Amino acid sequence: MARFIFVTGGVVSALGKGIASASLGALLQARGYTVLLRKLEPYINVDPGTMSPFQHGEVFVTDDGAETDLDLGHYERFTGVTTTRFDAVSTGGIYSDVIAKERRGDYLGATVQVIPHITDAIKSAILKNTKDVDFTICEIGGTVGDIEGLPFLEAIRQLRNDLGHRNSLFVHLTLVPYISTAGELKTKPTQHSVKELQSKGIQPDILLCRSDRSIGMEERRKLALFCNIKPECVIEALDVSTTYQVPISYHEQGLDREVCRHFGLESKTAPDLKIWERIAETLTRPEGDVTIGIIGKYVELLDAYKSLHQALIHGGIANKVHVNFEWIDASSLEEGGKASLIERLMPLHGILVPGGFGERGTKGKIAAIQFAREHKIPFFGICLGMQLAVIEALRNIGNFKDANSTEFGATSLPAVALMREWIKGEVVQKYFPGADLGGTMRLGAYECTLNQDSKSYESYQNTVIFERHRHRYEVNTTYLEELEKCGFYIVGKTTDGLLPEIAERKDHPWFVAVQFHPEFKSRPFKPHPLFKSFIEAALNQNRLI
Ligand code: GLN
């Protein structure tokens, strides 16, 4: 029987609804249930693919090639369940479908309205492919009271009637702030937020209250009374030092117990939280540490590198070490010359150049790649990071000064070039310049075959891998021979043999550059092999200083 849990947020944004939903998913799995997590986004964009990372944070890519919200990354990392394009629903997507239907005449002359046409479309998006899972957890983006969110709230209100009280549950995540001048925790913002929700016809069943200190019995009683909720369903969500402690912390507060009770699924046995305990133990009691420098463009907003950040932490978990992060703005490496590079990059145990778009900062990134290569510092290049490593080798070793990517303008030596046509499965995909920007990249999982004589093979222990992509440009195979003369070898290609996927140096302890985004597939309980191996190399390096 499919059961639905709707998670809304109140008072302020950024309370961690994504982590809360993902943690609840993990707790239900620990009780032996299957889960599916889904994000409903009130914004008008069809997907976040065209949004600036400064605005929206990372674009998380699914295996089936959807560009989605970073919360889907939390869902995958906490539950290990692979998300699909159906798990990210936005106002823009819903409206485009409804308008396309209207143009086709599917509504048979009816006036197309928010209720019932938009709300029906939202309801069918929520219900799609949910029959075989025990629980579907649907997170509603934004904060209760946002104008954009209204059709989504109306849709879930209707769904409670359609599904019945016993098959649906409303969780509301709020903030209970401590006001230092009064020396008290304040419940009023939560009361107002619940009132707002009630005015939309939704009575929350469980209140999840974020707070920086324990919420006393008195405040809980008050919240229960004013918000019309059972006192045991007012659940404290205290700040914890790492997000991977959240499932344990929510369990201790009784979240999964109350959720199961609501659905009539009381079980005597406690959930099995061993994997989370082990992760928390490694994170809180590491056996050493390592410092990784990330040379990026969006370093002021760490959400832009969410999965990458987490994958490096997972690499640390696999090696039982704490990872220190140096987020370095690539442009800042463009001035100051060698002395400044030595000062800033030499203390690092590993250097990573992540994915990115546009020319800004690429000079600094190339300088960092050269530094890592020459000083034998473990180097990991991802997507743009791989493309720039190719350019660096051709320019600085091969002496091809014009080597460049056509992304940055016309060049006589297009070492990285725009891909106009490629094959996915059996189907030829085409890029049409000047067409809509959305969804025009090589997106999603592609099969790659590895050479056995490579670091990558050693890490994966497999010759065939599937990794997710999000890019328009490719390493130009015309120059592969020149590249090999520079000591840089393609050790992984798409299985059809056409596109370079991984390049490595043999004259360096660990210099691996990949065209895909391995960070999307790393999990705390199953760290990605390349991140595990990168952190290991950073720990055991042999430096030439
Ligand atoms: N800008 C590059 C491209 O489109 C790299 C993209 C990325 O790093 N995700 O190919």
Is 451 within a domain?
A: no
Contact assessment for residue 351 and residue 316, using Cβ atoms and an 8 Å cutoff: no
Answer with the one of 256, 278, 300 that is the final residue of a domain: 278
Set 383, 467, 501, 536: catalytic member: 383
CA distance 168 to 160: 6
17 lines ligand 1 (CB under 6 A): no
* Spacing, Cα 353 to ligand 1 middle (Å): 12
Q: Which domain holds residue 88?
A: 3-278
| Total-model pTM | 0.94
Closest CA to 332 of 299, 304, 355: 299
Q: Which of 471, 514, 517 to mutate to test the pocket of ligand 1 (most atoms within 8 A of CB)?
A: 471
Report the alpha-carbon angle 32-79-75, nearest 5: 140
Closest CA to 230 of 200, 211, 197, 204: 204
When pLDDT is averaged across residues 194-201 and rounded to a whole number, the result is 97
The predicted pLDDT at position 544 comes to: 43
* Spacing, Cα 92 to ligand 1 middle (Å): 24
Is 436 within a domain?
A: no
Counting from 1 in the atom list of ligand 1, the atom nearest the Cα of 416 is 10
Query: Which one-letter amino acid corresponds to residue 169?
Result: L
Together in a domain, 495 and 513: yes
357 lines ligand 1 (CB under 6 A): yes
Is 75 within a domain?
A: yes
CATH number of the domain encompassing residue 333: 3.40.50.880
Reply yes or no on whether the pLDDT at 545 is more than 60: no
Answer with the one of 243, 261, 278 that is the final residue of a domain: 278
* Spacing, Cα 295 to ligand 1 middle (Å): 15
When pLDDT is averaged across residues 124-133 and rounded to a whole number, the result is 96
When pLDDT is averaged across residues 213-225 and rounded to a whole number, the result is 93
CA distance 258 to 250: 11
472 lines ligand 1 (CB under 6 A): yes
Set 407, 482, 519, 536: catalytic member: 519
Together in a domain, 324 and 359: yes
468 lines ligand 1 (CB under 6 A): no
Query: pLDDT tens digit string along 291-315?
Result: 999 999 888 888 999 999 999 999 9
Together in a domain, 231 and 251: yes
Is 430 within a domain?
A: no
Predicted confidence band of residue 437 (pLDDT cuts 50, 70, 90): low
CATH number of the domain encompassing residue 130: 3.40.50.300
CA distance 514 to 530: 10
Counting from 1 in the atom list of ligand 1, the atom nearest the Cα of 383 is 8
When pLDDT is averaged across residues 34-53 and rounded to a whole number, the result is 91
519 is catalytic: yes
The predicted pLDDT at position 165 comes to: 93
The predicted pLDDT at position 52 comes to: 83
Together in a domain, 229 and 366: no
Q: Which of 294, 383, 440 to mutate to test the pocket of ligand 1 (most atoms within 8 A of CB)?
A: 383
471 is catalytic: no
Together in a domain, 68 and 159: yes
The predicted pLDDT at position 266 comes to: 80
384 lines ligand 1 (CB under 6 A): yes
Query: pLDDT tens digit string along 477-528?
Result: 999 999 999 999 999 999 988 899 999 999 999 999 999 999 999 999 999 9
* Torsion sign, CA atoms 337, 343, 344, 350: positive
474 lines ligand 1 (CB under 6 A): no
Is 465 within a domain?
A: no
Is 454 within a domain?
A: no
Counting from 1 in the atom list of ligand 1, the atom nearest the Cα of 474 is 10
CA distance 454 to 394: 21
Answer with the one of 278, 311, 342 that is the final residue of a domain: 278
Burial class (CB in 10 A: 0-12, 13-18, 19+), 261: middle
Predicted confidence band of residue 434 (pLDDT cuts 50, 70, 90): low
251 is catalytic: no
The predicted pLDDT at position 56 comes to: 82
CA distance 76 to 392: 34
Closest residue to atom 5 of ligand 1, CA basis: 384
Together in a domain, 390 and 269: no
Is 447 within a domain?
A: no
* Helices and strands per DSSP (H, E), number in the chain: 18, 25
470 lines ligand 1 (CB under 6 A): yes
Mean pLDDT of the chain: 93
Together in a domain, 207 and 266: yes
CA distance 125 to 116: 14
When pLDDT is averaged across residues 463-472 and rounded to a whole number, the result is 96
The predicted pLDDT at position 440 comes to: 73
Together in a domain, 209 and 318: no
Together in a domain, 256 and 314: no
* Spacing, Cα 404 to ligand 1 middle (Å): 14
Together in a domain, 12 and 56: yes
Together in a domain, 403 and 479: yes
Counting from 1 in the atom list of ligand 1, the atom nearest the Cα of 356 is 8
Is 404 within a domain?
A: yes
Together in a domain, 23 and 154: yes
Reply yes or no on whether the pLDDT at 1 is more than 70: no
Closest residue to atom 7 of ligand 1, CA basis: 355
* Spacing, Cα 511 to ligand 1 middle (Å): 19
Enter the tokens of residue 205. 């069943």
Predicted confidence band of residue 50 (pLDDT cuts 50, 70, 90): confident
Closest residue to atom 1 of ligand 1, CA basis: 357
When pLDDT is averaged across residues 256-280 and rounded to a whole number, the result is 91
Reply yes or no on whether the pLDDT at 11 is more than 90: no
Set 172, 322, 517, 528: catalytic member: 517
Distances in Å between the Cα of 25 and the Cα atoms of 32, 138, 217, 250 are 11, 10, 27, 11
Reply yes or no on whether the pLDDT at 425 is more than 80: no
CA distance 389 to 505: 10
Reply yes or no on whether the pLDDT at 542 is more than 80: no
- Report how many domains make up the chain: 2
